[in-house]
Amino acid sequence: MNIKIRKFKDSDILGVVSLIKETFYKYNKKEATKTGIKNYLTYYSINKDNLEKVKISFLKTPIFFVALDNKKIVGMIRGTKSYMVNLFVNGNYHNQGIGRELVNKFENEAKKQVSSEIKIRASLFAVPFYQKIGYKKTTGIKNYKGIKVYPMKKLIF
């Protein structure tokens, strides 16, 4: 399979939002309360006004990459130089190294922007993945907006 990773463009918005919603619902809903799920999915509602709001929130995360299989968006990662906020890979593409490659790109960009540490609020599902690529838990499980997360971090030099 020929997966290409490149920087996010505005025209990716629909593909990205669909990927977030579908992947969250499939893999992360067990980790959230009903209200947590509802609020998360509502935040990414696909209607014109809401997509404008989402676009504005994306501007707060200057590091943003997408993974494409031909023209289909199958992965994404975004965040600031010290905080990663979203990493999602379409379930049909799991365990093919796309998640690791997206994190590599993210870390390299963070290093360029002179960061020495990356923090995340890891989904419970993704904890073994993050541990494999060098992230360590910093506390126990926390509740973030009705979703269980493990705060983790990695030093990058």
Confirm or reject binding of residue 87 to ligand COA (CB under 6 A): yes
* Segment near ligand COA (CB under 6 A); pick from 36-44, 49-57, 104-112, 122-130: 122-130
Residue type, 125: F
| Tokens encoding 50 | 């809401």
Q: Are 132 and 93 within 8 A, CB to CB?
A: no
Contacts of 68 (CB under 8 A, 6+ apart): 3, 4, 5, 6, 74
Query: Which of residues 52 and 60 has its CB atom nearest to ligand COA in the complex?
Result: 60
Q: Closest approach of Cβ 128 to ligand COA, in Å?
A: 3
* Segment near ligand COA (CB under 6 A); pick from 36-44, 45-53, 90-98, 108-116: 90-98
Q: Closest approach of Cβ 153 to ligand COA, in Å?
A: 13
Q: Are 20 and 88 within 8 A, CB to CB?
A: yes
Place of tokens 């998640």: 99
Binding site for ligand COA (CB under 6 A): 23, 27-28, 87-89, 94-100, 120, 122-123, 125-126, 128-129, 132
